[in-house]
Amino acid sequence: TKATLIIPAAGSGSRLNRETPKPFLEISGKTILEHTILRFLGLESLGQVVVATSPLYLNKAEEILNSVLPEHILFHVIEGGAERQHSIFNTLKFVDDGNLAIVHDAVRPFVELKHIENCCKAAMQTGASVLGVPAKDTIKKIDKDQMILDTPSRSFLWQAQTPQVFKKEILQEAYQKAFEENFIGTDDASLVERLGHPVKMVEGDRSNFKITYPLDLKLAKLLLSS
């Protein structure tokens, strides 16, 4: 089965609060987007990459893909949307039926190949899988006044990361349904869960953090320069 890597890179990075959008910040002479894509080049089934960016960064993304991808891997750079979910919805028409769709945030440059492969294997079996780790902190559910409503048992709480991997037809159906029902989720799996389709959680590593806040960027710089 061929795989298409879908990379949402069209966010503005409001929580990091930098001029340049996160995927295009440079660390050790390479953009974060480039560091991230390099992690997937060892994946044998990879046939195609689709990246969504804001209009201002379409050219920059093309340049990066041209320089890092070997010739046999096709790529498209397309314009993203207002929400991550819109950006990914825009990419799906470039993914062939029968492919595995691997969705991975541009700003998770530390994912390991063995975890990508494990996630793909699980998705081949179940149709849908998510990389994640057991929750480290106790998670509280609160109301709008920040009063605690509930403390769910931590043993059944996991933090979802990316990659999130799906048979393309399943992901397409999930996005179509969310679009029609005006539902916005914070990850891809949540849309697939709404179909009633099972999704497998695959254990990854805490090093696969998302560069979200200034502290994350600091840590990424330390790790990528050592």
| Shortest CB 85 distance to ligand CTP, Å | 8
167, 127 Cβ separation under 8 angstroms: yes
From 176, 170, 179, 224, select the one nearest 200 (Cα to Cα): 170
d(CA 25, CA 39): 17
Per rule CB under 6 A, count of chain residues that contact ligand CTP: 22
Q: Kindly tell me which of 153 and 182 has the beta carbon lying closer to ligand CTP.
A: 182
Is 35 near ligand CTP (CB under 6 A)?
no
Is 10 near ligand CTP (CB under 6 A)?
yes
Is 163 near ligand CTP (CB under 6 A)?
no
d(CA 112, CA 45): 16
Contacts of Mg ion in 9-48 (CB under 5 A): 11
Burial of 167 (0-12, 13-18, 19+ CB in 10 A): buried
Is 27 near ligand CTP (CB under 6 A)?
no
Task: Quote the tokens at residue 139.
Answer: 């998670």
90, 79 Cβ separation under 8 angstroms: yes
103, 165 Cβ separation under 8 angstroms: yes
Among 37, 91, 102, 105, binds ligand CTP (CB under 6 A): 105
Q: Kindly tell me which of 57 and 120 has the beta carbon lying closer to ligand CTP.
A: 57
The closest residue (CB) to ligand CTP is 11
Task: Quote the tokens at residue 56.
Answer: 């201002």
- What would the x/- binding string for ligand CTP be over residues 50 to 89, using CB under 6 A? --x---------------------------xxxxx--x--
Among 23, 132, 163, 204, binds ligand CTP (CB under 6 A): 23
Q: What is the largest CA-CA distance in the chain?
A: 55
Vertex 136: Cα angle to 133 and 139 (nearest 5): 110
Is 15 near ligand CTP (CB under 6 A)?
yes
Interface residue list for ligand CTP (CB under 6 A) = 8-15, 22-23, 52, 80-84, 87, 105-107, 210, 212
Interface residue list for Mg ion (CB under 5 A) = 11
